[in-house]
């Protein structure tokens, strides 16, 4: 059983997080430009054992897909075509950016660090991954 990777896909940047090999801990990995995300994932998969990729699914408050979905779907389809044996899941990402910002405040990061959008994206991906792992644990019980 390989790692789980989570991607918070944005129009400009993608935050990426992964679990440890035992799937116990979610770690922020990197923030990459969106147009480089596929190549980054491909290179990571070549050197690490990943069995699942979780991609944030933006939804509005009525649980409908948000406008951002049109930017994400081509990326998801490209991943599915290139890696047909990989388990690719979509997972609700509502409020992760706000939670990431609050996490930065709670951690005592200064104003300059909190304005680092790349750090917010990486933390958002980590939150998506933690939420997904929590949902898996709930299903097991």
| pLDDT tens, N- to C-terminus, the chain (141 residues) | 899 999 999 999 999 999 999 999 999 999 999 999 999 999 999 999 999 999 998 876 677 767 778 889 999 999 999 999 999 999 987 656 666 556 666 666 676 665 667 777 888 899 999 989 988 998 888
Question: 77, 87 in Cβ contact below 8 A?
Answer: no
Q: Which residues contact 29 (CB under 8 A, 6 or more apart)?
A: 5, 16, 17, 18, 122, 125
What residues are paired with 50 via a beta bridge?
3
What number of residues does the chain have?
Answer: 141
Q: What is the CATH number of the domain that holds 131?
A: 3.30.420.140
pLDDT of res. 129: 95
CA distance 76 to 2: 19
Split into its structural domains, the chain has a count of 1
Distance from chain centroid for Cα 22:
18
CA distance 100 to 106: 10
pLDDT of res. 124: 87
Q: Domain of 57?
A: 3-140
pLDDT of res. 116: 64
User: Shortest CA distance to 10 belongs to which of 128, 105, 114, 103?
Assistant: 128
């Amino acid at each position: 059983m390989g790692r789980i990777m989570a991607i918070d896909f944005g129009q400009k940047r993608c935050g990426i997080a992964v679990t440890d090999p035992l799937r116990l801990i979610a770690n922020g990995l990197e923030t990459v430009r969106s147009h480089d995300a596929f190549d980054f994932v491909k290179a990571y998969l070549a050197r690490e054992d990943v069995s699942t990729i979780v991609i944030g699914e933006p939804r509005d408050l009525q649980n409908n897909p948000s406008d951002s979905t049109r930017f994400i779907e081509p990326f998801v389809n490209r991943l599915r075509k290139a890696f047909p044996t990989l388990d690719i899941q979509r997972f609700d990402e509502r409020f992760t950016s706000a939670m990431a910002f609050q996490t930065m405040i709670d951690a005592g990061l200064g104003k300059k660090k909190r304005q680092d959008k790349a750090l917010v994206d990486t933390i958002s991906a980590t939150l998506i991954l933690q939420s997904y792992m929590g949902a898996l644990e709930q299903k097991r019980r």
